[in-house]
Structure 1
Amino acid sequence: MMMSDLRRDYFVTRLVDLAEGAGANIEALFAETEAQARAQFEEEGIDPSRVSFLRFGKFRYQNQEHTTEVLLPEGEVSDAKLAEIEALFHETYEREYTYRLDAPVEMVGIHLVASAEVGKLTMAEQPLGDADASPAEKGRRVVDFALEGEHESVIFDGPSLKPGMEFAGPAIVEDPGTTIVINPRSSARVDAYGNVHIELGE
């Protein structure tokens, strides 16, 4: 999550028939929404020039209830592009519903995706230490491994496991974010990034 780019989605409802003059109206709506997005990113310290956009239109056949979202071609929306946009709608609609209609098409709104790249963290390797994992042990208890039956198992404290440590199942690693099960006859090791690798036994 910390390495994800920043993203905002903007949805604006606007009913527009795909007729002459509609291109300019749709382009103006996107331009207004993009300006709003740049301003919001700038308030958070993001250079507006770093913000990129994906434009989607939500279309339907006139007098129908259901809409279909279509990724619009790059560049400015103009009357010259309306036929291409309408063709994309027909293709997308037929792919989703298995048929198309010979009926007028209208736009019911836009969906603008605004995103900005953030600096990515670089994972740093840690030196591998002692293979002895006993310092991370927190106790023992009987665990039911279903097919393998019940076995007394070592319980490890996940945050206390260090790179280089190795141990064999049956074992349980209790971590604040997850629980890792190492079945009987399987083994585990902690790599230089803190990942637990499990080698399955036969």
Structure 2
Amino acid sequence: GPVAYRAGGTEPTVTDVALVLGYLDPSGFLDGDMTIDADAARAAVAAKLAEPLGVDVTRAAASVFQVLLARTVGALREITVERALDPREFALLAFGGAGPLLAPMLAREMGIATTIVPQVPAAFSAFGMLMSDLEYEFATTVLRPLSDETLAGLEEAFAELEGQGEEVLSAQGVKPEDRTLIRRLDVRYHGQEHSLGIDLVPGDTAATVLDRFSRQHEARYGHAMPEPGQILTLRVRAVGRLSKPGLRELPPAGSAVPEPIGERPAFDVASGETVAFPVYARAALGAGHEVSGPAIVEEGTSTTVIFGDQQLTVDRYGQLVITGGQA
């Protein structure tokens, strides 16, 4: 792990670099429950990066984030620009312990106007579990040509899969009115190796299924082909709808933004300089409060870093909404 953990790690990690750049408070890590060694992190960055490269420690540490951002931007472009989506039309959701630290940098690099940090971001995946339905999938391989005759002959196989779905949802205590069964076909062009999943809806014909498949194929791979279709697999997705918690609204903040709980020097990617960052406790920020960067917002298991050309607003659900900034 990170050198700062003093658990045997010798190579500097992103956590070590964040300590060197001032983004993390070594005395407040995990709300002070875990002691980490910022001096050890700095020494590792100096020995492993700065000295071999012939640069100062701050520049070496900042370069690590530049490389990390370049790799992340490349990955995001693969799932946006290459699918004809403009990332600037979306908001960036920052969760996990490190997401709120990295996302404002990433948003600047990609020209994304809004970054959202939900409440308790380190537990966001657990919240996602509470917002999910039960889903089970049942499948059987058929390998038949996509034709109206084939579709007409699939009813018995689909009915058997749906029976399995009803059985498992019943065993989970899902009421009949909360169950949904979705029929799906894995379709490919004749002779292809890969397939795409296509939902089957009442009234579908072989022509409508092939048209939907071809449009999805073009969106995914950039082209469609004048070839007949082939059904590879039948699937039934059994969905059991569950009750979900709502987002709790906060009352409007009745006072001005609270005073910072401290201040520390940190590297501002907007100016390329180490400057003073006021530090705020997230629990003290209320709905409607606004903070201009540079600033750091701390909570027990996560740290949000706002740079000099960015602004933060707390929305009615207590989420941190970060805007502005352009690399």
TM-score (norm 1): 0.71
The 2-side partners of 1:122 and 1:161 are apart by: 21
Task: Give the secondary structure class of the aligned counterpart of 1:147.
Answer: coil
Of 230, 248, 267, 1:144 maps to 267
Task: Please state if 1:50 is matched with 2:175.
Answer: no
What is the alpha-carbon root mean square deviation over aligned residues?
3.4
What residue ranges of structure 2 are gaps of 5+ in the alignment?
Answer: 1-127, 218-222
Task: Please state if 1:12 is matched with 2:168.
Answer: no
Task: Please state if 1:91 is matched with 2:211.
Answer: yes
Residues 90, 100 of structure 1: 8 Å contact kept: no
Alpha-carbon shift at residue 191 of structure 1 (Å): 3.7
Post-superposition Cα deviations, 1:130-175, rounded to whole Å, max 9, x if no partner, equal: 43423x72x4221111232221112233345344555443211134
Select the structure that is richer in helix: 2
Residues 9, 114 of structure 1: 8 Å contact kept: yes
The 2-side partners of 1:14 and 1:151 are apart by: 65
In percent, how many aligned pairs have the same letter?
28
Q: Pick which of 117-126 and 34-43 moved more.
A: 117-126
The 2-side partners of 1:42 and 1:18 are apart by: 33
The 2-side partners of 1:166 and 1:20 are apart by: 60
Select the structure that is richer in strand: 1
Change in Cα spacing, 1:159 to 1:199, as seen in structure 2 (3 Å) is same
Change in Cα spacing, 1:73 to 1:165, as seen in structure 2 (3 Å) is closer
Change in Cα spacing, 1:100 to 1:189, as seen in structure 2 (3 Å) is closer
The 2-side partners of 1:65 and 1:168 are apart by: 53
What residue ranges of structure 1 are gaps of 5+ in the alignment?
Answer: 76-80
Change in Cα spacing, 1:131 to 1:188, as seen in structure 2 (3 Å) is farther
Task: Please state if 1:133 is matched with 2:133.
Answer: no
TM-score (norm 2): 0.47
Higher-Rg structure is 1
